[in-house]
Amino acid sequence: MPTHAASGQSLEARTEVAAEEAARQALAALSGQKLLAAIVFASPKHKLGKALATIEGLVEGAPVIGCTTAGELTERGVLHDGLAVLLLAGDGLAIGAHAVGTKGEPDRVASQLSAGYAEAQKQATSRGFAASTTVILVDGLAGTGDRVVSSVLRSTRAFQQIVGGAAGDEGAFSSTHVGMGARASSDAAAALHFFGAQRWGVGVDHGLTAGRERHVVTRSEGNVVHEIDGRPAFELYRAHAKARGVTLEPEAAGPYLIANELGLFFLDELRTARAPLSVTASGALSCAADVPEGATICVLEGRPDAMVAAAKHAAEEAHAALQGQRAAAVLVFDCVCRATILGDEVGRELEAIKSVFPDTPIAGFFTYGEIARSRGKLDGWHNTTAVVVAIPA
């Protein structure tokens, strides 16, 4: 039986009611088919554990994972203060895992997330399911998501596709939550390992341009950038803002940092973006993922038209990767900074994706980091990026 999918959403303020409303909306479209898994994206105004437990009680034993967001997406539109769910059904195989301690022990967390993978792979192979993809949701403020992704890759198999996102909290940058079933907390990660007959399609693009001035990270430790060009890292942003008529103070710098992220070069190629999330007392930048000492960097610039075009290109890339197979559903992991830059035009990205996947269920969220590791995409952690994932029917 092919894979089928349906999305649901709710703007109901009461968590249990919102979760049931969104889940039943999706269930109605699947007409009693065997459920594989549920993925939930919820506003931080909701109690994530309650939402996941409510949906778990409706999906007949299928694994349920989810996270808080900086905004939710379905094919119906962009939500805030809402809840969105994607249900998958069919003959494939899906197993879930949940772990806490991403800040201090990312490798242990990754090991726990992958603990059941080998046995599931054997079972999947015996049923003719040769392809697999892992969906990972991680704490958006831990700063170790890239290490979790790399470790999960080592714990699964060569060329394992890994997609997902870092949880958000609507731009408060205070606490994000990830869960599975009734378990949800900060400093956590959750994974769903999917096995099926067809490979999922993955597309990635950002549409950002590099600022004219390049700089060097002269001191960093993991995800904390202490100095740029020999000066406290925050001074780069203070000067950048001043040149644009903005007076930037550390305690209120979050929105500006997110809207003007760091770009990292490999030789002369702009390779990745890194989101500074906060400023320490010493003027260091705490970022969403590691920034290596000695890296050449710039402050990135985002233009709405280019970002919308990038979202469409990511969708086209995901569509092409299906090699003619129809998409049962689309997952979207889109950086919160893109929403900040687009402002009232944020819905344009979703419309661009829908133009490639018309009449297809869509679910996703605005993230604090995007995950896409597949063939040809060796850097699994991204910022300021649109990741589009096409699930084959």
- The per-residue pLDDT for range 79-91, each reduced to its tens digit, is 999 999 999 999 8
- Most trustworthy range by pLDDT among 67-81, 200-214, 258-272, 288-302: 67-81
The mean pLDDT of 198-217, rounded to a whole number, is: 91
Maximum average pLDDT range among 137-146, 205-214, 326-335: 326-335
Q: Are residues 121 and 253 in the same domain?
A: no
Based on the domain organization, do 8 and 137 belong to the same domain? yes
For the chain, the average pLDDT equals 94
Residue ending a domain, choose from 280, 301, 322: 301
Task: Identify the pLDDT of residue 379.
Answer: 63
pLDDT in tens, 37-78: 999 999 999 999 999 999 999 998 999 999 999 999 999 999
User: Could you tell me which residues are beta bridge partners of residue 367?
Assistant: 335
Residues 112 and 184 in one domain: yes
Residue 333 to residue 206: CA distance in whole angstroms: 12
- Percentage above 90 pLDDT, the chain: 80
- Give the whole-angstrom CA distance, residue 369 versus residue 143: 10
CB 323 within 8 A of CB 78: no
Q: How far is CA 211 from CA 231, 261, 299, in A?
A: 19, 11, 6
| pTM listed for this prediction | 0.89
Do residue 214 and residue 167 come from a single domain? no
- What's the whole-number mean pLDDT along residues 174-186? 96
According to the 3-state scheme, what is the secondary structure of the chain? CCCEEEEEEECCCCHHHHHHHHHHHHHHHHCCCCEEEEEEEECCCCCHHHHHHHHHCCCCCCCEEEEECCCEEECCEEECCCEEEEEEECCCEEEEEEEECCCCCHHHHHHHHCCCHHHHHHHHHHCCCCEEEEEEEECCCCCCHHHHHHHHHHHCCCCCEEEEEECCCCCCCCCCCEEECCEEECCEEEEEEEEECCCCEEEEECCCEECCCCEEEEEEECCEEEEECCEECHHHHHHHHHCCCCCCCHHHCHHHHHHCCEEEEECCEEEEEECEEEECCCCCEEECCCCCCCCEEEEEECCHHHHHHHHHHHHHHHHHHCCCCCEEEEEEEEEHHHHHHHHHHCHHHHHHHHHHCCCCCEEEEEECCEEEEECCECCCEECCCEEEEEEEC
Q: Does residue 181 share a domain with residue 111?
A: yes
Comparing 302 with 319, the larger pLDDT belongs to 319
**Which amino acid, residue 194?**
F
Rounded to the nearest 10 degrees, what angle do helices 347-356 and 304-321 cross at? 30
Evaluate if residue 327 carries a pLDDT over 80. Answer: yes
Give the list of residues 6+ apart from residue 126 with CB closer than 8 angstroms, or none: none
Question: How many CB atoms are closer than 10 A to CB 161?
Answer: 24
Q: Report the half-sphere exposure of 176 (CA within 13 A, side-chain side).
A: 36
Let me know whether 148 and 242 are in one domain: no
Residues 152-165 have pLDDT tens digits of 999 998 889 999 99
Indicate if 267 and 121 belong to the same structural domain: no
pLDDT digits (tens, 9 = 90+) for 238-265: 999 999 999 999 988 988 887 788 999 9
pLDDT of residue 376: 59
Contact 198, 260 (CB under 8 A): no
Of 301, 335, 362, which closes a domain?
301
Are residues 197 and 219 both part of a single domain?
no
State whether 87 and 231 are in the same domain. no
Phi, psi (degrees; rounded to nearest 5) at 316: -65, -40
Residues 103 and 213 in one domain: no
pLDDT of residue 377: 59
The structural domain count of the chain equals 2
Average pLDDT over residues 313-341: 95
Evaluated on CA atoms 122, 126, 132, 136, the torsion sign reads: negative
Mark whether 140 and 42 lie in a shared domain.
yes
The reported pLDDT for the residue numbered 291 is: 93
Name the pLDDT band for 210 (thresholds 50, 70, 90): confident
Of 255, 281, 301, at which residue does a domain stop? 301
Residue 378, pLDDT score: 54
Query: What average pLDDT score do residues 212-237 get?
Result: 96
Per-residue pLDDT, 268: 81
Question: Are residues 167 and 40 part of one domain?
Answer: yes
Q: CB burial class (10 A; 0-12, 13-18, 19+) of residue 222?
A: middle
Question: Whole domain around residue 289: which residue ranges?
Answer: 209-301
